[in-house]
């Protein structure tokens, strides 16, 4: 006879140990599959509830006398938090990582060898040491290895943003311990990464559980930078007065300055970045979690493992590295399911900076190529005229319909044909070329280009005799904002590079086709600064 779902041991564990009433989404199916010894690949967005997908099976299997579950994780902070929470709930769990003294580590090893542990968290490099493998061998012989959970499984893929060499070694688990079920989990779901995970961890036979990545209660808005601080303040005052939010900035200095400025404007704000001492960081984080009207201004150092349900907005004052990062950071908004905003301001300088960071890193050329492709995908999202959510989900391999809850759906942008304007800008840069014109480096940046195109007689224009150029004043019909849009797009598309300390402009070979008018360029009309939609706040 089939046992009724009410009496399933997994559900009992969920209720008795974790105090939840029901599984969420695909959790029930995943847990059932793993409890009965199947391998699983779990793709679930951040906050979706991945941990229970291995914790519950670990407890159920332990109660069946099957010993200890080994959880591989690269995140020391997460191990620490989870082990703390499990022990509090009466589940015997421990971790092994570099933060333990050798006495502490020995104590954990004793518990492990005895088979009394329910869950052991361990970093991948530690797992694959001969010492550790010997202990696992012994458990395996005694049938006391209940399962392997491989968290952050995207780390096995170079396509992902945080590839870790040690993850490649994890395929050994399958060969060495056949029959021990494995569950690999990640919040990164693009096709490429997924195929890498399956192949490199030998999960061809595993059942794949793919959750929707949609967060329907999050409203996506991407605006052009035009005094970003003032834009941010307007967002907070108009829509999020007295609410909790996170503002991401790229540099520590900008974090400090923005937090101080918000405070001056009467917004309660705290800075958070890796340059603050551990004590200050902990204090700020605790206050953010406890109080419900604080704005945390932070670098990406803030967020991993932060589980605050009522974050009402996440704002980006700088462009993240790629769509995965954008999705993960914005995903910290609205975990309680109530309406929340993901808001970003971006401009030409962001595009230039991100391109430069890739160019100047000492990564392999192949890796840089991937990073550029990923940045391009994010730029396409930022420049999009159509539904942001459709694009975001499509990036993660999910088809969807226009959402009615992003800026482009709520307030469709007007577009204009910028093909001619782009040609004018490119030919102007061409004429800046050093030896009577050409491709390659010039000595002039965006500001000067805009002055020449719009026919402004500045000192610099006079100094270089640029009022005599045939391109002088040919763009007087367009606004400065429109020209900035044109140039930003040209940089985003890689037709123009901004180089060196002064961001001097240079044409790249791909500009040729645009100059010839072979590539149509359609841009969004710059919005009036006050045109932000104020729709209803229901999800």
Point out which residues bind Zn ion (CB under 5 A).
Answer: 387, 389, 403, 406, 409
**445 makes contact with ligand ADP (CB under 6 A):** no
Q: Which does 50 bind (CB under 5 to 8 A by kind): Zn ion, ligand ADP, none?
A: ligand ADP
Q: Write each residue from 299 to 338 as x if it is in contact with ligand ADP (CB under 6 A), else as -, in one continuous string.
A: --------x-------------------------------
Q: Which does 430 bind (CB under 5 to 8 A by kind): Zn ion, ligand ADP, none?
A: none
Q: Which does 417 bind (CB under 5 to 8 A by kind): ligand ADP, Zn ion, none?
A: none
Q: Which does 403 bind (CB under 5 to 8 A by kind): ligand ADP, Zn ion, none?
A: Zn ion
Angle between helices 27-35 and 52-63 (to 10 degrees): 40
Residue with Cβ nearer ligand ADP (28 or 492): 28
8 A C-beta contact, residue 57 and residue 35: yes
Residue with Cβ nearer Zn ion (116 or 414): 414
Geometric angle at alpha carbon 67, from 173 and 86, rounded to 5°: 100
Q: Closest approach of Cβ 497 to ligand ADP, in Å? A: 38
Q: Which does 409 bind (CB under 5 to 8 A by kind): Zn ion, ligand ADP, none?
A: Zn ion
**47 makes contact with ligand ADP (CB under 6 A):** yes
Of 43-51, 67-75, 252-260, 501-509, the window that binds ligand ADP (rule: CB under 6 A) is: 43-51
Of 40-48, 133-141, 319-327, 401-409, the window that binds ligand ADP (rule: CB under 6 A) is: 40-48
8 A C-beta contact, residue 56 and residue 86: no
Q: How many CB atoms lie within 10 A of CB 84?
A: 12
8 A C-beta contact, residue 261 and residue 268: no
**Residue length of the chain:** 539
Residue with Cβ nearer ligand ADP (280 or 285): 285
**12 makes contact with ligand ADP (CB under 6 A):** no
Question: Which residue number is nearest to ligand ADP in terms of Cβ?
Answer: 49
**52 makes contact with ligand ADP (CB under 6 A):** yes
Tokens encoding 163: 């590839």
Tokens encoding 318: 């700088």
Residue with Cβ nearer Zn ion (308 or 389): 389
Q: Which does 406 bind (CB under 5 to 8 A by kind): ligand ADP, Zn ion, none?
A: Zn ion
Q: Closest approach of Cβ 96 to Zn ion, in Å? A: 45
Q: Quote the CA–CA distance of 292 and 348 in Å, as a whole number.
A: 34
Buried b (16+ CB within 10 A) or exposed e, 316-350: bbbbbbbbbbbbbbbbbbbbeeebbbbbbbbbbbb
8 A C-beta contact, residue 356 and residue 235: no
Tokens encoding 1: 């006879």
Alpha-carbon separation of residue 429 from 434, 448, 464 (angstroms): 10, 10, 14
Q: Closest approach of Cβ 18 to ligand ADP, in Å? A: 7
Residue with Cβ nearer ligand ADP (125 or 336): 336
Q: Quote the CA–CA distance of 154 and 396 in Å, as a whole number.
A: 13
Angle between helices 52-63 and 9-17 (to 10 degrees): 110
**291 makes contact with ligand ADP (CB under 6 A):** no
Beta bridge partners of 504: 499
Binder among 8, 27, 193, 497 for ligand ADP (CB under 6 A): 27
Tokens encoding 433: 């070329």
Q: Which residues bind ligand ADP (CB under 6 A)?
A: 20, 23-24, 27, 44, 46-52, 307
């Amino acid at each position: 006879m089939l046992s009724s779902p009410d009496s399933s041991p997994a559900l009992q564990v969920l209720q008795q140990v974790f105090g939840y009433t029901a599984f969420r989404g695909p959790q029930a199916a995943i847990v059932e599959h793993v409890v009965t010894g199947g391998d699983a690949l779990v793709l679930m967005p951040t906050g979706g509830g991945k941990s229970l997908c291995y914790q519950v099976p670990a407890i159920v299997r332990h109660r069946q006398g099957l010993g200890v579950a080994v959880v591989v994780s690269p995140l020391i902070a997460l191990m620490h938090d989870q082990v703390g929470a499990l022990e509090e709930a009466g589940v015997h769990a421990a971790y092994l990582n570099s933060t333990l003294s050798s006495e502490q580590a020995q104590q954990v090893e004793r518990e492990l060898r005895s088979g009394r542990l329910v869950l052991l968290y361990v970093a991948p490099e530690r797992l694959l040491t001969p010492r550790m493998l010997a202990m696992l061998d012994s458990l395996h012989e005694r049938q006391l290895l209940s399962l392997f959970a491989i968290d952050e499984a995207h780390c096995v893929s170079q396509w992902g943003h945080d590839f870790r060499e040690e993850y490649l070694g994890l395929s050994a688990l399958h060969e060495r311990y056949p029959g021990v079920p494995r569950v690999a989990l990640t919040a990164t779901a693009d096709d490429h990464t997924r195929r890498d995970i399956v192949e490199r961890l030998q999960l061809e036979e595993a059942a794949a559980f793919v959750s929707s990545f949609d967060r329907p209660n999050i409203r996506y808005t991407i605006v052009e930078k035009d005094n970003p601080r003032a834009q941010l303040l307007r967002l907070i005052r108009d829509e999020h007065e007295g609410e909790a939010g996170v503002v991401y900035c790229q540099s520590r200095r900008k974090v400090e300055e923005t937090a101080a400025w918000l405070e001056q404007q009467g917004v309660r704000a705290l800075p958070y970045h890796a340059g603050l001492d551990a004590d200050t960081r902990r204090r700020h984080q605790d206050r953010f979690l406890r109080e419900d009207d604080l704005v945390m201004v932070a670098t990406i150092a803030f967020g991993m493992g932060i589980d605050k349900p009522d974050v009402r907005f996440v704002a980006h004052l700088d462009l993240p590295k790629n769509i995965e990062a954008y999705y993960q950071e914005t995903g910290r908004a609205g975990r309680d399911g109530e309406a929340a905003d993901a808001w970003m301001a971006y401009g030409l300088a962001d595009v230039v900076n991100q391109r430069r960071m890739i160019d100047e890193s000492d990564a392999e050329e192949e890796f840089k190529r991937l990073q550029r492709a990923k940045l391009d995908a994010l730029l396409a999202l930022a420049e999009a005229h159509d539904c942001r959510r459709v694009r975001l989900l499509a990036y993660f391999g999910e088809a969807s319909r226009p959402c009615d809850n992003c800026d482009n759906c709520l307030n469709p942008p007007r577009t204009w044909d910028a093909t001619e304007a782009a040609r004018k800008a490119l030919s102007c840069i061409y004429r800046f070329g050093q030896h009577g014109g050409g491709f390659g480096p010039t000595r002039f940046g965006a500001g000067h280009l805009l002055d020449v195109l719009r026919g402004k007689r500045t000192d610099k224009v006079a100094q270089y005799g640029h009022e005599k150029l045939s391109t002088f004043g040919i763009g007087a019909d367009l606004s400065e904002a429109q020209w900035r849009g044109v140039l930003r797009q040209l940089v985003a598309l890689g037709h123009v590079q901004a180089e060196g300390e002064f961001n001097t402009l240079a044409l790249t070979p791909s500009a040729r086709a645009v100059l010839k008018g072979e590539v149509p360029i359609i841009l969004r009309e710059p919005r009036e600064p006050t045109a932000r939609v104020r729709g209803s706040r229901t999800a």
